[in-house]
Amino acid sequence: QNPTMTKPQLKRWYSSRDSTSTTKASIVLIGAGWWSQGWHLPHLHRNEEVTIAAIVDSSPNPTSNLNPNLESLTTLADRYNCPIFHSLTELLENEIGRSMDGALVCTPHATHYAIGVELIQEAKRRYEEDEKNYKPLSVLMEKPMTTDVDEAIQLHELLMERKKADGDSTDDQRIGGGIGCFLVNHSANFRPQARAAHELIQTGKLGDIRHVTAFFASPLSWIFDDPSNVGWNEKHGSMLGNGFAWGQQSHILSWIYHVAGVENLVPSKVFCHMTKSAKTGADVSHAATVICSNGATFS
């Protein structure tokens, strides 16, 4: 260890809520599948700062090969003491949707874009209806943000729309101020180690980044080699494929860019290859070398 290096100070992550507020955040869960029932709902329920305001799912009886014992929406409504809705549109026509603090999106990958757009439009509506007293809407989107590059660009552009205040050319409130926070759930980015690494890079004490080596693996052949797992292995909508890259490999890319900084690793050339399951056609392993515009590389 270098004795002259000081521990980097961790920045407080952005929150649209007043940290001194005594009211609970009203959170709606969109998608009641195996991950929501096994992870998100129990955690939200245990969080003393949260109220589960509603659960949204198009099916009254969610099913999944990954958990054959999923509960119905009626059972979930009783368990978590909240109403249920069968579409996002139905939710947003109700006062619960129009007043929620945040939405957690945990639906099939290919649906993320349309849901994201609808939530951003709701946030924008709130701001345009009452610019001074609007209620921000925060969104936590499960990864991947979208399954189509053009859709990702469009969603980003919607988020970054600016509204200039009258006579003020410096005002750059995001989408008119309606979105409090829009995050993609790459949970490893929010661990203390990742935060510390990010801050250390930002200090410049390690110098310029010249190369990054990273590896990520997870024992999920039981998912990607099973033809019955259609949602995980078959492409939907404008997807070019499906498999490990879409739900898991996106984690490592997000972590690299979070820690190293987007500005330090702008790709100029990419060499890559993936192997696919003989049983399902899903991609199951990947190798890539990326050459960046500043000469840095990562693989």
**Whose structure tokens read 């609808």?**
118
How far from 228 is each of 64, 180, 232, 248, 283, CA to CA, in Å? 10, 39, 9, 19, 16
Tell me the percentage of the chain whose pLDDT exceeds 90.
71
For 243, other C-beta atoms within 10 Å of its C-beta total 26
Q: What per-residue confidence (pLDDT) applies to 9?
A: 37
Q: Which residue has the tokens 């003491």?
A: 81
Average pLDDT, the chain: 87
**pLDDT band with cut points at 50, 70 and 90 for residue 265:** very high
Helix pair angle (149-159, 112-129), 10° resolution: 10
Query: Is it the case that residue 15 has pLDDT exceeding 90?
Result: no
pLDDT tens-digit readout, 59-93: 999 999 889 999 999 999 999 999 999 999 999 99
pLDDT (0 to 100) of residue 19: 52
pTM higher than the cut 0.75 = yes
Q: Which two tokens stand for residue 22?
A: 């005594």
DSSP 219-238: --HHHHT-TT-HHHHS--TT
**pLDDT the model gives residue 187:** 87
Query: Rounded to whole angstroms, what are the CA distances from 104 to 36, 41, 152, 156, 181?
Result: 9, 10, 18, 18, 12
Residue 20 clears pLDDT 70, i.e. is over it:
no
pLDDT of residue 118: 96
Residues of the chain with pLDDT > 70: what percent?
87
- Given this model, what pLDDT does residue 162 score? 61
DSSP 3-state helix, strand, coil percentages of the chain (rounded to 5)? 35, 20, 40
